[in-house]
Amino acid sequence: MKYDLAIVGAGPAGYIAAKKAGDEGLKVLLVEAKKLGGVCLNEGCVPSKTLLQAAKTYYHALHGEAFGVEVSDVRFNFEKANAHKTKVMDGMREGIVGLMKKRKVEVLFGQATLSEGRKITVDGETHEADNILICTGSSPSRPPIPGIEGSNVVDSTGILELEQLPKSLVVVGGGVIGCEFACLFGSVGVPVTVVEALPEICPTLDPDLAKILRSELTKKNVTFHVGARVEEISGSEVKFSVKDESLTAQGELILVATGRKPNLANLGLDNLRVDYDERGGIKVNERCATNIPGVWAAGDVTGRAWLAHAASRMAEVVVHNITGRKDHMRYDSIPSVVYTSPEIAVVGLTKEQAEERGMKVTIGKIPMSINARYLAEHPGERGLCKVVVEEGTRRLLGVHMIGGSCSEMIFGAAAMLETELREAEIDEIVFPHPTTSEVMKDVFMAVR
């Protein structure tokens, strides 16, 4: 059968592309090897953030004295938290099924293999398409550490399948994923040790934010070792060295969170002669087109952004270009969030990134504690809002925040960057009072 668009992978890129293409009247085929929703819905962001919210609720109940809330015998029921997680996932998956049915998208489950002439074979049946979108996502990567195949060693997928809390946890890798799980388990009383190879956790973030996050997570049963080289995993013991000192960390469970890799195997990409980039992902241009006409790629499989919402935006760009609307990716205005407590939310450039591009910049930063709403809702929690501004034009280049509610505020900063607002224009925006969002206006008082 011939389709206008065949999509391989039904994650945040795939089902969004199918939805938009269906809205445009295209005949669409959507192929998924596992479950609708992809890694994000079934093995990543949705289940992990649901459990993080459960842990946060428990932690707030346990430490509610500052609000005058005094309770005894507070317990965290991991079984019920998992049941809630499953309910959320099932509901979202059913929603995707409804979206596809409404738009008459044909959904096939199985392994897709691509071949020349924009052909796609699923379970022995071959289909043709004018356009093919590859969005097969990514998988956890595992470094070559001796002992990493141990039965008590899990990745970010395996840890979400736990039925009971571990007595202790060692996290190898202090990036975003590692810190989120450290926060989750530490908040409910599990002693956590994070071992990170680089000098600071979450190394892609603004250094001020990473430093505050590390400090705040130590209040939640989390111990950090940075600049640490893991040498071996032996049973429940992780052996590592910091400078010339040999150290060990004990954990009933060991989580390896050292990054992800694009899912490229068994797709037949070599048959298409698709180019790859230096990161190992499918190489695409700003329109998400590959070097092969009619073949597109979006999401983690491209090795860019590694965010579900970035994948969805890339999918939109693909469909827009297929249907004649000029559109392209603007990665600098895509926000990202670390769902720890406190949260981190960022969009745009850091000072260092801007200077690497030859820009002259100035920064402004203020503590979240100058904000009344933040003080009322987050007593004792450190927070920071930091902006990067281009010197000559006073154009906003980046916003970097740590503190409660940041994930719900960052979209406003993303809109400012997308529309290239200047400091004077932002000064004219009215923010409701009292809200934590006011810090995004107040921070400009500190810009020098």
Q: Put residue 9 in one of left, alpha, beta given phi > 0 → left and psi -120 to 50 → alpha.
A: left
Number of helices (H), then strands (E), in the chain? 13, 22
Nearest to 195 by CA among 151, 158, 246: 246
Number of Cβ within 10 Å of residue 327's Cβ equals 16
Mark whether 400 is an active-site residue. no
Residues 6+ apart with CB under 8 A from 171: 178, 181, 182, 192, 193, 194, 195, 254, 255, 257
Residues 6+ apart with CB under 8 A from 328: 286, 287, 317
State residue 235 phi and psi, 5-degree precision: 65, -120
Distance between start and end Cα atoms, the chain: 62
Long-range contacts of 247-252 (CB under 8 A, 24+ apart): 249/170, 249/193, 249/195, 249/225, 250/168, 250/170, 250/193, 251/152, 251/166, 251/168, 251/169, 251/170, 251/193, 252/152, 252/166, 252/167, 252/168, 252/169
What distance lies between CA 46 and its chain's CA centroid? 10
Say whether the peptide bond before residue 342 is cis (omega within 30 degrees of 0).
yes
Torsion of CA 126, 127, 128, 131, to 10 degrees: -120
d(C-alpha 320, C-alpha 308), whole Å = 19
State residue 296 phi and psi, 5-degree precision: -125, 165
Strands 119-122, 295-297: pairing kind:
unpaired
Q: Which residue is catalytic, options 63, 127, 309, 433?
A: 433
| Helix (H), strand (E) at residue 367 | strand 361-367
- Residue listed under structure tokens 């892609």: 204
Residues with catalytic roles: 433
